[in-house]
């Protein structure tokens, strides 16, 4: 049952902390999978803080992806070793964080999977975030495009890598070198504090 407090979002790879906070405030999120794929969004990317600053991790997609393709139909390309690159980037960024030894084995399992569709990979990451961080968020999925979002809090296309939100600083491994960097993937805070 959809309630007017349900947050309507597009599905994302490594969602930013501000999006997860909004989902927590709502308590229920509905991911729209039938909306159009949008380039330069969190649909196939996420932001982490490494030794040289903010690093963008992007999932390569199969040829034919464009703005006219529903997100649910976008396929992941596995010609390159991007999963190993992302895994190594996370290791470099978080191996000295408080919860790395606890989370790293789980992440290796996630990156070993090879789902065909991008939204399936999103689902894996989101469900792991909900479980590991023990977030009280109910999740629903819609495979169609929501033309009348009046039953939702419509937050589609609100969260973009080019417009990050500020937040209360917390300890980050590379804060002395790069300063505190806000609104990275929610996993950044989980690696450092074990919770959100």
User: What is the rounded CA–CA span in Å between residue 178 and residue 186?
Assistant: 18
> What pLDDT was estimated at residue 163?
86
Contact 32, 156 (CB under 8 A): yes
What is the maximum alpha-carbon separation in the chain?
47
User: What is the rounded CA–CA span in Å between residue 124 and residue 147?
Assistant: 26
Model confidence at 169, in pLDDT bands (50, 70, 90)?
very high
Indicate whether 175 pLDDT > 80.
Answer: yes
pLDDT tens, position by position, 58-109: 999 997 656 678 999 999 999 999 999 999 999 999 999 999 999 999 888 9
The structure tokens 């417009």 sit at 163
- What SS3 state is found at 28? strand
pLDDT tens, position by position, 100-144: 999 999 888 998 999 999 999 999 999 999 999 999 999 999 999
CA proximity to 38, closest of 9, 17, 5 = 9
pLDDT tens, position by position, 3-59: 678 999 999 999 999 999 999 999 999 999 999 888 889 999 999 999 999 999 999
User: What is the rounded CA–CA span in Å between residue 131 and residue 182?
Assistant: 23
H/E run at residue 14: none
Contact 153, 4 (CB under 8 A): yes
Q: What is the DSSP string of 107-159?
A: HHHHHH---SBHHHHHHHHHHHHHHHTT---EEEEESS--S-GGGSEE-TT--
User: What is the rounded CA–CA span in Å between residue 182 and residue 186?
Assistant: 10
> What pLDDT was estimated at residue 59?
96
- What SS3 state is found at 67? coil
196: tokens are 């959100």
Indicate whether 2 pLDDT > 80.
Answer: no
**What is the mean pLDDT of the segment spanning 148-171?**
92
> What pLDDT was estimated at residue 129?
96
How long is the chain?
A: 196
Indicate whether 1 pLDDT > 70.
Answer: no
């Amino acid at each position: 049952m959809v309630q007017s407090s349900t947050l309507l979002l597009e599905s994302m790879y490594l969602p930013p902390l501000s999006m997860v906070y909004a989902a927590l405030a709502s308590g229920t999120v509905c991911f729209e999978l039938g909306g159009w794929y949008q380039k330069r969004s969190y649909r196939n990317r996420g932001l982490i803080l490494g030794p040289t600053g903010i690093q963008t991790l992007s999932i390569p997609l199969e040829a034919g992806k464009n703005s006219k393709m529903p997100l649910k139909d976008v396929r992941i390309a596995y010609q390159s070793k991007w999963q190993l690159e992302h895994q190594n980037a996370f290791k470099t960024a978080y191996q000295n964080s408080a919860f790395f030894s606890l989370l790293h084995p789980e992440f290796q399992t996630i990156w070993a999977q090879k789902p065909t569709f991008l939204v399936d990979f999103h689902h894996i990451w989101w469900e792991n975030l909900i479980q590991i961080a023990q977030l009280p968020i109910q999740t629903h999925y819609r495979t169609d495009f929501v033309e009348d979002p009046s039953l939702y809090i419509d937050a589609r296309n609100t969260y973009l890598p080019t417009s990050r939100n500020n937040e209360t600083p917390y300890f980050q491994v590379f804060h002395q070198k790069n300063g505190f960097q806000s609104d990275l993937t929610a996993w950044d805070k989980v690696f450092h504090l074990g919770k959100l």
